[in-house]
Amino acid sequence: MTVPTDLDLRFREAAARSGMLDAGYDLVDSPIGPLLVAASDRGLLRISFDADIEQHLEWLSRVAGRNVLRAPRQIDRARRELDEYFDGRRHAFDLVVDLRDVTPFTERVLHELARIPFGETATYAELATRAGNPKAARAVGMTMNRNRIPIVLPCHRVIGANGSLVGYAGGLDRKVALLTLEGVLL
Amino acid sequence: MMSTVAIPPFEIFYAEHNSEVLGLLRRKVGRDRADDAFQETFLRALRAYDRLEHGEHLRAWVLTIASRVAIDVHRRTNPTSEMPEIPHEDTRPAYEDLGELTDGLPAKERAAVVLRYGYDLTYDQIATALDSSPDAARQAASSGVRRLRKEARP
């Protein structure tokens, strides 16, 4: 016997409402493929292009606590803003991010990254300078590569000094798609 | 050295046990009332989940919570009726032995003794399952054991 879908959803809804979840997640459809989106009560914890849940569960459980459940309600706001972004109706995200496990340097870099506006780009070296360490371009590259909240923290807007796209953890195709959506690429 | 069983993320625990819990509740309280009881069972489990100390006996633990919720449902609907017996689905030998041995105990003491000594649950876990406090669970288990000792005396 399987649990009927409506009963299952009712429990997941109640769990999200209860405030007892350490993290809730769900899949969000997007033009660049399904996204796994997870959030705690503090804010957004993860956006991933890899929709395979198992490995994310372990990570979320380790970082946020073991009360992790698929709970669409927990990411309602992120889903709405992502939908608006992909529809071209939103240029800036109004979402709080939960960066509880990152180092102070990473946090500074991500903070500067979040300030690169829609439709603009910066180079790795520029971002390193803005984060207070002009020599750290390579470390900034690493930080972009490991960015666990892509799109909202727009690492796709960071490119090489010669204008090349360099790379993207979600695959270059997706970087191209996002920069095209923002009008940077034609 | 004994290794403790890791406690899985709640999603895994829920997915593994939800259909069995629903089946148990449908048998105990009927289809109409099983849905609410199902939700209450897993919300109680969620509330206690981050205090669990190891991942052993999770099935027994959640089925016990479900049985307790079923009793509460019966009480709510027939406040004057006798508390129904809790026939447990599990077939662990420890429980089988204890089940017979503890037949004569009051329901609460019996549940506490079986959960403590048959399933090796902590008093925190027992308190959650019985919807009482860890102190009350400890007390119920120890007065149950005292009573058994008295009965065992020739």
Supply the pTM of this predicted model. Answer: 0.78
Instruction: State the Cα–Cα distance between residues A87 and A73, nearest whole angstrom.
Output: 21
A155 is catalytic: yes
Q: Tokens at residue B95, please?
A: 């429980």
Query: Which one, of B13, B7, B70, B113, lies nearest residue A15 by Cα?
Result: B13
What's the pLDDT tens digit per position in A44-68?
Answer: 999 999 988 988 999 999 999 999 9
Going from the N-terminus, what domains does chain B have, and what CATH number goes with each?
10-152 (1.20.140)
Burial classification of residue A183, based on how many CB atoms lie within 10 Å of its CB (0-12 exposed, 13-18 middle, 19 or more buried): exposed
Scanning the structure block, which residue is given the tokens 């509880």? A100
Interface test with A, best of B5, B7, B11, B35 (most A CBs within 10 A): B11
Going from the N-terminus, what domains does chain A have, and what CATH number goes with each?
5-86 (3.30.160.70), 104-181 (1.10.10.10)
CA distance B62 to chain A (A): 15
Question: What value does the mean pLDDT take over residues A154-165?
Answer: 94
Instruction: State the Cα–Cα distance between residues A166 and B8, nearest whole angstrom.
Output: 38
What's the pLDDT tens digit per position in B20-69?
Answer: 999 999 999 999 999 999 999 999 999 999 999 989 899 999 999 999 99
- Average pLDDT of chain A is 96
Cross-chain Cβ contact B35/A10 below 8 Å? yes
Listed in sequence order, the residues at least 6 apart from A14 whose beta carbon sits closer than 8 Å to its beta carbon are B39, B43
The residue in chain B having the minimum alpha-carbon distance to the alpha carbon of residue A3 is: B19
Which residues of chain B are within 8 Å of residue A2 when distances are taken between CB atoms?
19
What's the pLDDT tens digit per position in B60-115?
Answer: 999 999 999 999 999 888 766 555 555 555 444 455 556 666 777 777 888 888 78
Q: In what order do the strands lie in the sheet with A44-48?
A: A44-48, A35-39, A23-28, A68-70
Task: Provide the 10 A C-beta neighbour count for residue A117.
Answer: 12
CA distance A7 to chain B (A): 7
Cross-chain Cβ contact A11/B19 below 8 Å? no
What's the pLDDT tens digit per position in A69-95?
Answer: 999 999 999 999 999 999 999 999 999
Instruction: State the Cα–Cα distance between residues A130 and A143, nearest whole angstrom.
Output: 14
